[in-house]
């Protein structure tokens, strides 16, 4: 069993690493930031496109809540309103705390409200991330056929693709093993007695999600989520008029590339709301399309604020609806890592 003091030390080191990277990223971006230019570009923003972009980005998280509901179907009935509330409350936690604790918080909220074990709910979040990784890798491979990516991007895409294939192969082998072991007819609760252990229990839950007919619906919604996010980012590019600052056409492909770079970048240890990392990787993605760094920096700050503001209000409302305050949120977030290590007493 892990030593609590060791876990605390590791957590503090990750937080320091996250803040350190955020500071480095943000200082690098600020080298190219010009206040006068930014204000001039901001004055020309088309705010109708901004509202469209906000709408699609918010919609993407509504679809994520729907996917979560579908993915948990093998373990019980999940109300969509509770799923949406948990997702947006988790987003709010990510805005004010480092290291994205919202993933654990939303799992706790849904587990408590829908009477599904916390381990199963957290496992479903892991499945979400695996599916998202596969889709991101496939998208990057397709985009590389149409966009001339720099060598460093191409090399990173190759490494990511190989790692993803290995991970998916391991998961598929484990599911196939359990399918043979369980014979396709043994209930997870019975199989757990024959195959004891916390790891085997998690694998059996993974088998239940992966072989359920509802999994295909979850995959469909997984494709819809990045589609909405790409539309949201593309609308922000239109609003900012990025097409005026490059000779290359600003179609959907640049939005796909920039979103992929941002999403991969913010997976590193990070500060609250991904401050610093979002701006750095947004500028990095836009550099593929020859957007001047000063303009790219201004857009990264503009897009970050425009896409974050709705979740401040929606997330706070979801948090209040879940019966939590800012004080109780801080206590719950600090206690969640320890709670997930305890054996669950739910059935």
Average pLDDT over residues 295-302: 95
Q: Regarding predicted confidence, which is higher, 126 or 336?
A: 126
Cα-Cα-Cα-Cα dihedral sign, residues 294, 253, 146, 268: positive
Continuous segment of H or E residues that includes residue 17: helix 4-30
Predicted pLDDT of residue 4? 57
* pLDDT tens per residue across span 181-201: 655 444 444 444 454 456 677
Answer yes or no: is pLDDT of 165 > 90. no
Distance CA 297, CA 282 (A): 8
Cβ contacts of residue 205 below 8 Å, gap of 6+? Answer: 75, 119, 120, 123, 188
pLDDT for position 339? 57
Which of the residue ranges 216-220, 253-257, 340-344 would you say has the lowest mean pLDDT? 340-344
How is residue 283 written in tokens? 């500028």
243-247 mean pLDDT: 76
Confidence of residue 204 (pLDDT cuts 50, 70, 90): confident
On average, the pLDDT of the chain sits at 85
Average pLDDT over residues 277-304: 93
Measured in whole angstroms, the distance separating CA 297 from the mean position of its chain's CA atoms is 23
Q: CA-to-CA distance for 182 and 180, rounded, in angstroms?
A: 6
45 falls in which pLDDT band (50, 70, 90)? very high
Cβ(298)–Cβ(242) below 8 Å: no
pLDDT band at 282 (very low <50, low <70, confident <90, very high): very high
Q: Which residue has the higher pLDDT, 63 or 148?
A: 63
Q: Is the pLDDT of residue 247 over 80?
A: no
pLDDT of residue 218: 94
**For residue range 101-113, what is the model confidence (pLDDT) as tens digits?**
999 999 999 999 9
Query: For residue 156, what pLDDT is reported?
Result: 77
In the predicted structure, residue 269 carries a pLDDT above the cut 70: yes
- Of the given ranges (220-224, 231-235, 322-326, 341-345), which has the lowest mean pLDDT? 341-345
Report phi then psi at 184, rounded to 5. 70, 5
Q: Where are the domains of the chain?
A: 16-341
Q: Is the dihedral of CA 270, 273, 276, 278 positive or negative?
A: positive
Of 141-145, 262-266, 329-333, highest mean pLDDT: 262-266
- Give the mean pLDDT of 49-56: 97
Give the pLDDT mean for 59-88.
96
Residue 98 DSSP SS3: coil
Average pLDDT of 7-24?
Answer: 83
Instruction: Look at residue 253 in the predicted model and tell me its pLDDT.
Output: 86
Kindly tell me if the per-residue pLDDT of 276 is higher than 70: yes
Higher pLDDT, 289 or 251: 289
Residue 237, CA distances (Å) to 211, 233, 255, 282, 294 in order: 40, 6, 8, 12, 15
DSSP string, 201-261: HHHHHHHHHHHSTHHHHHHHHHHHHHHHHHHHHHHHHHHHTGGGG-SS---HHHHHHHHHH
């Amino acid at each position: 069993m892990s030593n609590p003091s060791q876990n605390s030390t590791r957590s503090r080191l990750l937080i320091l690493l996250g803040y350190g990277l955020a500071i480095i990223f943000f200082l690098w971006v600020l080298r190219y930031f010009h206040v006068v230019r930014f204000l001039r570009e901001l004055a020309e923003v088309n705010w109708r496109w901004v509202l469209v972009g906000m709408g699609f980005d918010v919609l993407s998280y509504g679809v994520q809540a729907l996917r979560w509901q579908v993915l948990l179907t093998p373990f019980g009935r999940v109300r969509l309103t509770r799923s949406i509330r948990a997702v947006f409350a988790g987003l709010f936690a990510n805005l004010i705390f480092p290291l994205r604790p919202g993933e654990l918080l939303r799992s706790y909220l849904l587990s408590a409200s829908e009477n599904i074990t916390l381990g199963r709910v957290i496992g479903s979040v892991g499945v979400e991330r695996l599916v998202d990784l596969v889709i991101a890798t496939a998208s990057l491979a397709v985009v590389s056929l149409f966009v001339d990516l720099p060598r460093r991007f191409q090399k990173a895409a190759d490494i990511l693709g190989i790692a993803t294939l290995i991970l998916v192969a391991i998961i598929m082998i484990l599911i196939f093993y359990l399918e043979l072991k369980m014979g396709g007819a043994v209930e997870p609760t019975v199989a757990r007695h024959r195959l004891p252990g916390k790891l085997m229990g998690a694998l059996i839950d993974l088998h239940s999600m992966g072989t359920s007919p509802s999994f295909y619906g979850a995959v469909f919604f997984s494709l819809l989520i990045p589609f909405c996010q790409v539309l949201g980012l593309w609308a922000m590019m239109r609003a900012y008029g990025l097409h005026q600052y490059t000779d290359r056409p600003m179609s959907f492909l640049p939005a796909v590339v920039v979103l992929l770079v941002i999403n991969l970048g913010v997976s590193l240890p990070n500060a609250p709301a991904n401050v610093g990392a979002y701006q750095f990787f947004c500028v990095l993605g836009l550099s593929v399309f020859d957007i001047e760094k000063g303009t790219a920096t201004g857009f990264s700050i503009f897009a970050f604020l425009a896409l974050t503001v709705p979740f401040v209000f929606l997330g706070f409302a979801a948090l209040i609806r879940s019966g939590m305050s800012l004080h109780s949120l801080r206590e719950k977030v600090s206690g969640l890592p320890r709670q997930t290590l305890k054996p669950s007493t739910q059935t």
